[in-house]
Amino acid sequence: MTNLPSIIQGGMGVGVSNWQLASAVARRGQLGVVSGTAISHVVANRLFEGDPAGHIRAALAEFPFQDTARRMLSRWFREGGPKTGEQLPSHPIYSIAPPRFLDQITAMSNFVEVHLARRGHSGQVGLNLLEKIQLPTLASLYGAMLAGVDWVLMGAGIPTQVAGILDRLSRHEAVSYRLDVKGEPAGPRSEATTISFDPERIFPGIAARMGPLKRPRFVPIVSSVVLASALIKRSEGEIDGFIVELPVAGGHNAPPRGKMTLTNAGEPIYGPKDEVALDGMAALGKPFWLAGGYGRMGALAAAQASGAAGIQVGTAFALCHESGVREELRMKLLERVARGEADMKTSPVASPTGFPFKVAQMEGTMSEAGVYDARPRLCDVGMLRTLVRNDDGTVVYRCPAEPVEDYVAKGGRAEDTEGRRCLCNNLLSTAGVVKVQKGGYAEAPIVTIGDDFPLIGQFQSGEQLSYSAGDVLRVLLA
């Protein structure tokens, strides 16, 4: 396979690996990756804040369906920003039968992010999505493909369906996605609960207008050779490589193999069973990149010496000035590093997904018990809701971070709600979408960061706290 990057800037949701970051990396010849997770909320908010530099409107003006672009603008765009006290207009929530407008804004927002990341250079751009968040996947992939996305990278689960879907979407065919539904036996495929996406229904006449689309390369993110080889066997289309992610990486981590045991501080313990046999990866015959703790000088050469095509790095890029982390938060985190106080913990409960999740310990964020306790529980974004089939056959949507009584009424166990953060609203807040809820509560941020957090100093020069994506690449390639 040709044209393989040696460095992949990891996809970081929500809105952390935005188009500015991906563009900065891609124009320097490495793979820049935008996150498609909840991106329609981020794009809506950028419009609401007046889109000062006009980038979003410029990208929307390139979208092949101008009437839908205009509908998005008329709902969220505010010339010069919102009026005092005006709240971000509500955003529809996904279900298995989403309104057409939701699929449209999801596709358009992914289009916007990829289009802007690809503009003005000939480098390559990828889209990152999570297998755990299934409902928006089809619209997200299609929107990114309309903008010519070069790669799709997918973590947090076993994405057997995506490669085949990319093949079909490149021909504008109607597709459907089999959903994980708790309480539903893993019966025949024909009986699975699905969500569907028909490009011709969402954007009538699009196939004729656009012609065939480029089929992006597909790279799942795995934590073991067993998983990688299972994916090769079960994937419904061609897999083009793997990212092998170790548990020191920022974001969500694969749980430890076997029964989860915790340190005294309450963090999951990983052991020899969680190590990845790199010769086993190489034997699969696909290019692979190593992720988790590779954001340092010399790590690229070491990875390549062990058979990898290169590395994927997140933490180092998460705090560079192009990232989508709110500026004042980013600077506070960098100050912490400079004072030698960079600290993060792997929480086994913070994420509603049940996956371990790395959380930077920082005042004013959801890492603090007081900030967590002060949040009135509510669920109005719904990205992490799981589908549950009730005894009476109906499907309910539930999230252990929603109000406890709602969760229990839907058959959930109260103890499963303890300590769960509303990652939807908290991560949106980190990316600058600070929603003020009824009653005046402003959503607080949560910052996820990997074990390399204390090493950020290697990218700074002199007294300057801030650094750029270019600084990171210079160190990694040195």
Burial 144-170 (b: 16+ CB within 10 A, else e): bbbbebbbbbbbbbebbbbbebbbbbe
Could you give the residue ranges of the DSSP H alpha helices within 310-467?
315-318, 327-338, 369-373, 404-409, 423-430
Adjacent-strand bridge partners of 175:
197
| Structure-block tokens of residue 277 | 């046999």
Q: Of 213 and 476, which has the nearer Cβ to ligand FMN?
A: 476
Min. distance of Cβ 310 from ligand FMN in angstroms?
Answer: 12
d(Cα 358, Cα 248) in Å, to the nearest integer? 9
Closest Cα to residue 130, out of 53, 238, 17, 233?
Answer: 17
For residues 10, 13, 17, 18, the Cα torsion angle rounded to the nearest 10 degrees is 150
Neighbours of 231 (CB within 10 A): 19
With a CB cutoff of 8 Å and minimum separation 6, the contacts of 155 are: 11, 128, 130, 131, 220, 221, 243, 245, 251, 252
Pairing of strands 288-291, 310-313: parallel
Footprint of ligand FMN (CB under 6 A): 10-13, 16, 35, 37, 128, 130, 155, 221, 245, 248-251, 291-293, 295, 312-315, 318, 448-450, 452
Burial 375-395 (b: 16+ CB within 10 A, else e): beebbebbbbbbbbbeeeeeb
Min. distance of Cβ 449 from ligand FMN in angstroms?
Answer: 5
| Structure-block tokens of residue 13 | 């949701």
d(Cα 115, Cα 374) in Å, to the nearest integer? 39
Min. distance of Cβ 185 from ligand FMN in angstroms?
Answer: 29
d(Cα 36, Cα 58) in Å, to the nearest integer? 19
Q: How many residues can be counted in the chain?
A: 478
Min. distance of Cβ 360 from ligand FMN in angstroms?
Answer: 9
d(Cα 357, Cα 446) in Å, to the nearest integer? 11
d(Cα 18, Cα 38) in Å, to the nearest integer? 12
Neighbours of 265 (CB within 10 A): 7
- Residue showing tokens 């089999």: 178
Query: 3-state class of 25 per DSSP?
Result: helix
Q: Of 12 and 281, which has the nearer Cβ to ligand FMN?
A: 12
